[in-house]
Structure 1
Amino acid sequence: MADDAPLAATKNDKPTGLAARAVTINLPVDEVYSRFRDFAAWPSFMENVVRIDVLDERRSHWVVKAPMKGSVEWDARITEEVPGKSLAWESEPGAEVPNRGHVTFRDAGARGTVVVVTIDYDPPGGVIGKVIAKMFQREPAIQARRDLRRFKQLLETGEIATPAMNAKQFEEMGL
C-alpha cells in the first residue's frame, strides 16, 4: 500500500536519506515556479547536475556527478503538479540512485515566494555511501542547501556569486 504522508513523515523503508530545505526568493510565485519547472536549466544552478534531458512533459533523464563513480544516471517522472503551488517527482524503477522529491511554492507577500524542497533518496552503498558523499560534498542534503541558494541568486540578480575569478578578471590582472 502506498504511503501518502508528506516525505518528512513517511514510513516507507526506501529511499532512506531525507533532505528538506527552504529559501525565500524576492519574486512572485508564478515567476519562481515557471523558472523552477524548466528542468533543462537546472544544471546552471545545480552544482552536481551534469545534464537533464527533458523527454516529455512528465519525464526526464538525469546525469549527476557521483563520488567514486564519476556519474550516475536515472529517469524521473513528475507524479504530482499543481502549477504555481507544488511539484513532486520520483525516479523510475531501476534508477542508480532511487529518489523522490516534493517542492512547494508559497506566496510570502512583499517578501516574494517561499520555496520548500524535500528530497528523499537511497544512497548508493547505504550508510557508507552516504558518508563518502558527505566527504566529497556531494550528499543531497548539503547540495540542496547550496543549490537553492544559487537558484535564489540567479533569479534575484541574474547571476550566481562565486569566489572564482572569471576570464575578464584574469584579463584585467594581466594573467
Structure 2
Amino acid sequence: MSKVKESVEVEVPVHTAYNQWTQFEEFPNFMEGVERITQIDDRHNHWRTKIGGVRREFDTEIVDQLPDERIAWRSTSGDTKQKGVVSFRRVDEKHTRVELVMDVEPSGAAEMTADATGLIDRRVKGDMRRFKDYIERRGSETGAWRGRITPG
C-alpha cells in the first residue's frame, strides 16, 4: 500500500473549503481520471474512474466526519482499495490549509506501474492544485451541502 500526502493553502474560509469538498459529485471538475461520483446517501458514494485507459468502479464509505475539520473514508467494495483523510485547518478568516493523506493499494499491473513510477503521487498533488484553483476561482462552494453530515 502506498501513502500519498499533499497539502495546499486555499484563499477561502474554512467552511467554504470544507463545504466544497463535501460536494463529491463535483470531484470530476478537479480530479483527473475521476469520471463520475454518485452519492448514494450521506455516507456512501460510488466512484467511476479511468486512469491510463483502465476503468475502475468502487464504493466508499465516510467513516468519520467533523464539519469544517476533517472527512475520513475507506473503500468498501470494487476494484480499488484505498482509505484516507482530508483535514481543514483555518489559517485566518480568508485562508484554509487543506491536507490530504491517502493509502492506496494498487490492484492491477497498470496501477502497480503507476505507483512504482510515482504517477499516483503526482496525480494526487495535481488534484490538490486543481482543487485550489477550482475553489478560488469560484470563491464559494457549489450547490447544496448534500454531503454534509451533522454530528451525533
Q: Same fold (TM over 0.5)?
A: yes
* Alpha-carbon distance in 2 for matches of 1:132, 1:45: 20
- Kept in 2, the 8 Å contact 1:42–1:49? The answer is yes
Offset, 1:67: 2.6
- Confirm or deny that 1:129 pairs with 2:129: no
Q: Which has the higher strand share?
A: 2
Q: Which has the larger radius of gyration?
A: 1
Taking the TM superposition and a 5 Å limit, the aligned residue runs for 1:133-172 are: 139-158=119-138
Q: Counterpart of 2:71?
A: 87
Count of matched residue pairs: 139
Offset, 1:111: 5.8
AA of the residue aligned to 1:66: I
Tell me the percent identity: 28
Name the Cα RMSD after superposition.
Answer: 2.1
Q: Counterpart of 1:63?
A: 48
Q: What's the TM-score once normalised by structure 2's chain length? A: 0.83
Name the structure, 1 or 2, with higher relative contact order (CA <8 Å, separation 6+): 2
* Alpha-carbon distance in 1 for matches of 2:125, 2:114: 18
Offset, 1:141: 1.4
Gaps of 5+ in 2: 140-152
- Confirm or deny that 1:42 pairs with 2:42: no
Q: What's the TM-score once normalised by structure 1's chain length? A: 0.73
